[in-house]
Chain A
Amino acid sequence: DAKTTQPTSMDCAEGRAANLPCNHSTISGNEYVYWYRQIHSQGPQYIIHGLKNNETNEMASLIITEDRKSSTLILPHATLRDTAVYYCIVRVAGTASKLTFGTGTRLQVTL
């Protein structure tokens, strides 16, 4: 699986959009970009994933650059409950293989 690079931490004011970047310059053509988050002491929670097109669901939007070397997770209206560690993971889908969790980005949403 390709390696990812994320900032260690970010702050965001409640109600504003949180934009979390991820670099994955060695991504292969069959690798998807997945985002998970882990709220303190809980199990990781799936957020969204995509291959090359932008994706949106009820939780977030995923913007993938045309060359697929980087992506941005967008939480459109961050709340205090979005405070968590966010993990960007690149992997081949459908292989029943591990998710490689790096250190992620610690997002702190403040009043």
Chain B
Amino acid sequence: NAGVTQTPKFQVLKTGQSMTLQCAQDMNHNSMYWYRQDPGMGLRLIYYSASEGTTDKGEVPNGYNVSRLNKREFSLRLESAAPSQTSVYFCASSEHRTSTFRDTQYFGPGTRLTVL
């Protein structure tokens, strides 16, 4: 049981390049999330997917797109990377059982992205 896994762990891009960050969870969770964390700051939500087939914008969605490929996988794409997107990206998942209020989010180890 690996929990939440993310690939790659590190990535360096040049301005204008594109890439996709991958996230997968093996806990049969319904909801998945993408956050970014800039140095010395808290996490900010980029996009989330409450359930398979749905996605919604978070606080800072500009410059990103997401795909909920299936229940396990939720990818984040940068179409044209900018230096302002240099950050650590965390994926998370939660069971999202509204009837029992068990909505704890479990996080992956992060992807450290540098855009030159």
Contacts and interface: CB of A to CB of B under 8 A. Distances in A.
Interface of A: 32, 34, 41-46, 49, 51, 87, 93-104
A100 B41 CA distance: 11
Q: How large is the interface on B (under 10, 10 to 19, 20 to 34, 35 or more residues)?
A: 20 to 34
Interface of B: 4, 30-31, 33, 35, 41-45, 48, 50-51, 58-59, 88, 90, 92, 94, 96-110
A57 to B, nearest CB: 11
Given A41-B110, A98-B45, A104-B42, A46 B105 contact: yes
Contact of A98 (B4, B58, B102): B58
A96 B42 CA distance: 19
Given A41-B88, A46-B105, A87-B42, 8 more contacts: A32-B101, A44-B105, A96-B51, A98-B35, A98-B45, A100-B42, A102-B42, A103-B42
Contacts of B98: 94-95
Contacts of A101: 42-44
B106 A98 contact: no
Contact of B104 (A41, A49, A97): A49
Given A93-B101, A98-B33, A43 B108 contact: yes
A43 B110 contact: yes
